[in-house]
Structure 1
């Protein structure tokens, strides 16, 4: 390209290039220098893209200590800057410029490039290899920013950039950055795709405003981030997708609002958050938050979060694995919270939470495993609580917030507070499954382990009574007899009292009405007390029963004492056998 063919503006760029000096075309008047009106800028600040391309691909060598580079501010770039497949030896910075056509960097290899504050109709930079940084801070783009497969040794920054398109806004599928990615305050109408991205360093999207008419404004599927991912204070209309994402540092969405009513709001299936996942402190999701099959190596914070999906799952976290704890204090959930088969090494804290799923399950925690469960919500949950086959170390609850629940198979080591045995029996009675024996056995085992044997026996006695209501009439009659005589073996003193009453009754009757001898002149001297004892005790023979033969009413009393003795012996043996088998 001949210098004499250049315009005055282009000549300024040409002459400044060897020294890496900035060429400033601004007028100092903000209204005139705004790139939004760059289409009307005159020839005095217009540079053809072919001039820039020629300079960037030249083999200009440094002069003294100055390094050749493009530094342009406030220019209108006409034509298309097509550098596809090129090796660009020099860096370029376009500050507050207006591009008539989308720059082309497809499969290019370059040093470093900046478009800060510029107005772009798009950017084609798929598979670009950049040895430095790519700066798009403050850009306004009306077309797709395409960076699929790009490899940046430095960072990608899009802070406060604004992208307005009808479809895809930013396509960074499979991008690789060596020094992080920052898009703080990004505003995009259209999908931002970072699927399968590889980011070394921090990835920051704090304060971003994202919306997409197709319902997927942020796609982070398959993201691998060696550092923290900070998406705090975002406002998203549509779904955030993070399937199979892996983040080594803190993964934070605190203060973010996601609005996707009736559908999936946060799709986090099978994610790995090695530094913890933070969805609290003002996090709001209208739609389902899904964390099923995910693994969180530190903690999951839902503290103060507000999740809304009244007709389905507000939180779907089945088979979630958390190596730390889940902090859900103050959580508000309008919809089902599903933690079935979740494995929590620490605690699950639902203190002051509000759980609401009228007509359904407010908390599904079937086969949950946790060292501690704080089930002390702010108010009684609107809906059922399913704790079937859960395994809890210490279960902290509050009688004032008990709700209908299913707890067959629930295993726990301790309860806090223990409460009176009467209150705990009421707790068991409200089980939605009706009578099932395991919860009673579990509660009795806890009482027994703490040394409260009387309370343990009370629980097991009530268990037998409630089980009796499910039996046929003849079994119920036998059970009733065992209950009033020996309390199913858990009230042995009761049998002694019955025996004493019958013994005294028999002794009085036979004292007043001595029975005649069976054979005259034979047998021991009559003793009414021993005679009654001989009738009642079927296993020991004192010689009185055979020596005397009562008549009339005394005979019927004798028959009654013999029958009562056998019944007492049988029920005592049955009850004691049952009681001992529980020890």
Structure 2
């Protein structure tokens, strides 16, 4: 046949070739035309009339309508390099095998098709906007709704183009794998809603470039028995998705692997089902997705949209180095109420613009985001993990955030939370929030940790230690009512502007007392011991520097000193507490009553150290005794002292009778009359008690005992010297009574249990 010659194949030649198992092709460079009606007539023949290899047509033009709808074809049909003038109609057909390899097809209707082996569209170009009864409002180039393919669906290097949907294959069932790979390109939406694939879905190198109203690939409610691959091929061709991939409520028994893929945002779409209440430009919308294995994002994946995995269940999620999420002001990765049977790993170097949502998620392994970079959050939260449960480690080491907070409110965290080297920047707001969280291990916020924003641990329960050694808290630290079981290490690198530990409790307080901010609130802060040197003066300066004054922290520090065998240091702190309390003025200002109270308090402090230093009174009492004793031994003082016997006779200290009363005292028969001026024996011949300076001093100064000296001997007040001695002794008696009372009360207070 001469080159360029067109030959039309007749029915006899077609049947002969099929009986002999030969390929029908043009010879000698000519062109072959096969009428579609001949193919249909051939397909109506029985199995015994056709070679088991079936019909193979190569390089032919198929004219007319190839309508095999409803037909049962028991032998393979293979078309290689053929051009079809009209769409191929296979609705309801039952085929053994169909291969359209390298063909140009203006559309394929195959709803309800049954293929016992493979359906192969490799290297073909399928175009068209066909409509069927499966959808009266939408068109597609390929219709495979409710079809059943016993083997594989192969689309290697296939291009499917439509102004609406490229492929619509709702509820399709495939016994093998679906391979849409290498040069496969869908220029239109790819709808595989509710498909059942026994094997894997392979999209290696695939490109989905013209989404259907923002939806590039719809796998909602799909069931994949193997894995799903969206990866680059051996030539380096990277998969490209323009628009959203929907995996809502899909089930993947194997793994979901995304590698070197690019997701470009399309128009905003409105979610369906679980996500119906939100609008978004998600790259992957997969609420309720189940993945039996691992969801892995590898290589240089650029995801320009959110990944919605809310309510899903996964073996593990791993996002490897080099990946990036760009959803500024939106949700980059949403794992709300999801379950991870292993862990969540986002490798160092991953950059995320958007928010990671973990609210209500359950992670049975580790949560690792070490070395990642986060910015441009949804609202003001970069990692929103309210109520998350993590059985393993939470690794935030070397994390960098900008413009949002990391929030673990009401979370339950496992082994530890490690944020060494993290740099969290959210000026004017919260940088790290652990309110009402339960951490079953330590919380490590030191070793280069820096927060430009508040760090909040209010009502947080930490079963390990809180380690802030070497950390920087530029926005302050709040731990109101926090409970830390294994101690607090608060040796921060820079003094924070404020610290609030109101109502907090711990076992060991390890800190530098000189490096606390003045704006510290530690009322109700309870701890059992200090770590390091027990310097009460350092603790005194620490408490004294905190404004406003609060008595409770002094009592707590004193209690710790006393419980560890340091009662003197404890008392020193309590004395300082009273001193500082005296300096605090009430709202009414400096009233006279306030001045009186301060004066009394000052006296109490100077004398007995507010009851904690009763020894001071003993020294003062001893000094008063010595002073009075010396005074009573001075002859001039003794000359003013007088004693009166029962008869009224007055005697001087030396026994001299000063006055004589001639009238005897009633009933005193032993008394003898004496002449005025006579000198009886010492002590008035036994008529009065002898004067003793020592006992007279004790009897004057200490009113708790009576030795009879003060009652017997008294200063005469006719002379100025006598009046001075009388006044001095009365003052000494009052002072002695006051000091003795203070001593008794002070020792009584010390005798009470602490």
TM-score under structure 2 normalisation? 0.62
Structure 1 residues 22-421: aligned runs within 5 Å: 45-47=82-84, 53=90, 57-58=93-94, 60=96, 69-76=97-104, 78-101=105-128, 102-111=141-150, 112-121=152-161, 122-138=166-182, 139-166=184-211, 167-185=214-232, 186-213=239-266, 214=268, 215-233=281-299, 234-247=301-314, 249-255=315-321, 256-309=323-376, 312-334=380-402, 335-370=404-439, 371-376=441-446, 378-392=448-462, 393-399=464-470, 401-403=472-474, 404-415=476-487, 417=489
Q: Deviations over 1:199-255 (max 9, x none)?
A: 1011111222112232211112111111111123421112221111111x2211233
Deviation at 1:116, TM superposition (A): 1.8
Larger mean CA deviation between 312-321 and 442-451 belongs to 442-451
Structure 1 residues 363-512: aligned runs within 5 Å: 363-370=432-439, 371-376=441-446, 378-392=448-462, 393-399=464-470, 401-403=472-474, 404-415=476-487, 417=489, 423-425=511-513, 434-438=521-525, 454=566, 457=570, 468=581, 472=586, 495-512=613-630
Contact 1:242–1:271 (Cα < 8 Å) also in 2: yes
Contact 2:89–2:110 (Cα < 8 Å) also in 1: no
Deviation at 1:563, TM superposition (A): 3.7
Deviation at 1:339, TM superposition (A): 1.4
C-alpha change, 1:188 and 1:431, in structure 2 (3 Å) is farther
C-alpha change, 1:100 and 1:301, in structure 2 (3 Å) is same
Unmatched runs of 5 consecutive residues or more in structure 2: 1-9, 16-23, 27-31, 43-49, 61-79, 129-140, 233-238, 269-280, 492-507, 531-555, 634-640, 645-687, 715-724
The count of aligned residue pairs is 542
Query: Quick one: distance in 2 between partners of 1:466 and 1:405?
Result: 29
Larger mean CA deviation between 328-337 and 414-423 belongs to 414-423
Contact 2:607–2:617 (Cα < 8 Å) also in 1: no
| Secondary structure in 2 matching 1:142 | strand
Deviation at 1:309, TM superposition (A): 3.2
Deviation at 1:440, TM superposition (A): 6.1
Deviation at 1:306, TM superposition (A): 0.8
Q: Deviations over 1:136-172 (max 9, x none)?
A: 1131111011011111111111122111125210111
Q: Deviations over 1:72-103 (max 9, x none)?
A: 54322x23221112222221223222112322
Larger mean CA deviation between 115-124 and 450-459 belongs to 450-459
Larger mean CA deviation between 11-20 and 130-139 belongs to 11-20
Contact 2:558–2:574 (Cα < 8 Å) also in 1: no
Larger mean CA deviation between 458-467 and 358-367 belongs to 458-467
Contact 2:509–2:527 (Cα < 8 Å) also in 1: no
Unmatched runs of 5 consecutive residues or more in structure 1: 27-42, 61-68, 536-540
Contact 1:265–1:286 (Cα < 8 Å) also in 2: yes
Q: Deviations over 1:253-296 (max 9, x none)?
A: 23331112223222221111111111232222112222111111
Query: Quick one: distance in 2 between partners of 1:340 and 1:115?
Result: 49
**Which structure is higher in RCO with an 8 Å CA cutoff and minimum separation 6?**
1
Query: Quick one: distance in 2 between partners of 1:171 and 1:459?
Result: 76
TM-score under structure 1 normalisation? 0.78
Contact 2:311–2:338 (Cα < 8 Å) also in 1: yes
Deviation at 1:365, TM superposition (A): 1.3
